[in-house]
Chain A
Amino acid sequence: MTIKADNLIWKIGSKPIVNGVSLAVRPGQTLGLLGPNGSGKTSLLRLLTGLRRPHAGAVTLDGTDIATIGRRALARRVAFIEQHATTSANLRVIDVVKLGRFPHQTMFSGWTAADATAVAEALARTGLTDKADQSWQSLSGGERQRAQLARALAQSPRELILDEPTNHLDVQHQISLLRLVSDLPVTSIIALHDLNHAAMFCDELLVLQSGQVVAAGTPEAVLTRDLLADVFHVDAHVEPSPHHARPHIHFTR
């Protein structure tokens, strides 16, 4: 288990947003986080990245509480991609990707060969090598999200946390980004809205409702007609897809 959460509780005022969530992801696997709007997905991801401190419970990496790990050390290990990163700065793609090396550098260290290799590999893996000198402002939504993924990969993370990364993207870019993430050798936790995408690209799923886990396990075990009716209030038939063997959801009403 690389990343693990134990009984996390996080509140706004006295209202619990994340209420006793536990999870564990095996190395290299992709965990899909599902749930209706306001179910606490984004808050849970922020707790997992250390951007918020839980009021109770702990997030551990290989058994070490992340509260005891320094910010930079944590950023060398866990990378985070937000829903919709924006900037008014006229950065080039390569400048954005180089930001990922920030936690690996010190105040006086120069640009090292290791930095250059990590950036070149991140660009190559996301197919952005040819666009490295283009400006961020000239990129399409799909390319921007790829550039953010390249930035995250340049951090050389072992865990990757993504908050609905496919929002605002067309279907081609949604599929290619998810395929890229699920093929990466890192442990990923990814919040998603599209249930069929979750079934196709995630090894395990975790469903949140009102800040609590209501189902966890393989896509086959989690995505049932009863659960979809309970949590998402939709009537749907779930059956193995004849094309990719993962569950496929037909919405009937």
Chain B
Amino acid sequence: MTTTLATISAAPPLRRWLVPAAWLLASLLAIALVVAISVGVGDLPISMSTTFYAITNKLGFTAVALNPMHETVIWEYRLSRALVAVFCGAGLALCGAILQSLLRNPLAEPYVLGISAGASTGAVAVVILGIGAGAISLSAGAFVGAFAAFFFVAILSNGARGGADRTILAGVAASQLFNAATAYVVTTSGNAQQARDVMFWLLGSFGGVRWPEFVLVSIVVGVALVICLLNARVLDAFAFGDEAAASLGVDVGRTRILFFALTAVITATIVSMVGTIGFVGLVVPHAARYVVGPLHARLLPACAIAGAIFMVLADIASRSLIPQQVLPIGVVTALVGVPFFAIILYRLQRPS
């Protein structure tokens, strides 16, 4: 009874702000820690204190003398790479959490729904076919592809009114179609070197990202996170399905369009920079839900934080699992994700 009353009535203001603030601070420190580790790992190992001073030197807080080569490696290559990984992980996990709630399907994520495949087709069409070369960039191609896949799924699943199962099936069809289109373009139009580059890029790599990519992905994911947090209660209202949400006063059609468009934008941005990275959007929301529960005001920030940490760790693993070689990041996330996918599928059969 006492616990019930405590949860119903509003918590004292101090506790209401202090507890989430403490969690947020701890999470940001954890992200900073994995980023520092990530910056230190590589052919040229860099100690964490060097990384710390390199950052504070640049920001003007300290003036510690450091090896200039270390400073260059940190600022030109590794720090931007680690920070892009942070926002890509956060963005993909956010997409997975949104799609799983809206479609009421635990297997939904941009990769499964074919949005990633569409984005990669668009990007490949720009790079290899040279469609709109100069005028539109690789990112623009990825956006067009992601939205094409998104509309394909929307039409096949009967607009916003189709059932959740239909949407997943339409997503399977979309990923088959767009993966086939990508393979067709690569095999018919690309030379051997292009084909190899595209294959590597499709499996995901943080190798090419620098500060401009960081600026774009941080803005896109940051804005998306704010929009999602403002609409957290709308996502909660979908717990018992579309009809229940509508009877609570949610504009179901408009909400679906808003969130699907948001996931398409995030996915296209990420795919255009680092290729298709699967299973982050699947694994992270389930793990986060297990820890913080299903309510989105807590679930979405938890997904963003856990996704960020997971992605940086996956990037570290991709660089250090095999000496002198970098594994595609998609290989690492799939190696973790597929067993997890199997567990979810296995547990799905039980209750129904």
Contact = CB atoms under 8 A, between A and B. Distances in A.
Given A86-B240, A107-B230, A94 B248 contact: no
Interface in A54-82: 70-76, 79-80, 82
A71 B249 contact: yes
Nearest to B13: A110
B104 interface: yes
A87 B243 CA distance: 12
B293 interface: yes
Interface residues of A, number: 44
B348 to A, nearest CB: 9
Nearest to B290: A90
B256 to A, nearest CB: 15
A116 B248 contact: no
A107 B249 contact: no
Interface stretch (B2-10, B179-187, B263-271): B2-10
A22 B231 CA distance: 38
Contacts of A120: 5, 8
Interface in B76-116: 104, 106
Contact of B247 (A75, A91, A94, A107): A75
A132 interface: yes
Interface in A88-114: 88-92, 94-96, 99-100, 102-103, 105, 107-108, 110-113
B243 to A, nearest CB: 6
Interface in A151-200: 155
Contact of A74 (B104, B249, B289): B249
A141 B106 CA distance: 23
A72 B255 CA distance: 14
Contact of A91 (B4, B8, B243, B294): B294
B8 A94 contact: yes
B233 A116 contact: no
B237 interface: yes
A99 B239 contact: yes
Interface residues of B, number: 31
Contacts of B240: 82, 85-87, 99
A221 interface: no
B236 interface: yes
A110 B233 CA distance: 11
B259 to A, nearest CB: 15
B165 interface: no
Of B8, B233, B241, B244, which is in contact with the most chain A CB atoms at under 10 Å from its CB?
A: B8
A100 to B, nearest CB: 7
A24 interface: no
B249 A111 contact: no
B195 to A, nearest CB: 42
Contacts of A76: 249
Contacts of B7: 94, 132-133
Contact of A75 (B3, B243, B249, B289): B249
Contacts of B246: 51, 71
A106 B244 CA distance: 18
B247 A102 contact: no
Interface in B280-320: 289, 293-295
A87 B240 CA distance: 5
A82 B243 contact: yes
Contacts of A88: 104, 106, 351
A129 interface: yes
Interface string A10-52: 0000000000000000000000000000000000000001010
B25 to A, nearest CB: 22
Given A94-B4, A107-B231, A130-B1, A100 B248 contact: yes
Contacts of A74: 249
B250 interface: yes
Contacts of B5: 120
Contact of B248 (A87, A92, A102, A133): A102
Of A79, A87, A92, which is in contact with the most chain B CB atoms at under 10 Å from its CB?
A: A87
Contact of A132 (B4, B9, B231, B233): B4
A71 B3 CA distance: 34
Interface of A: 49, 51, 70-76, 79-80, 82, 85-92, 94-96, 99-100, 102-103, 105, 107-108, 110-113, 116, 119-120, 123, 129-130, 132-133, 137, 155
18 contacts: A74-B249, A75-B249, A80-B247, A82-B240, A85-B241, A88-B351, A89-B294, A94-B4, A95-B295, A99-B236, A107-B231, A112-B10, A113-B10, A116-B8, A120-B5, A132-B4, A133-B3, A133-B7
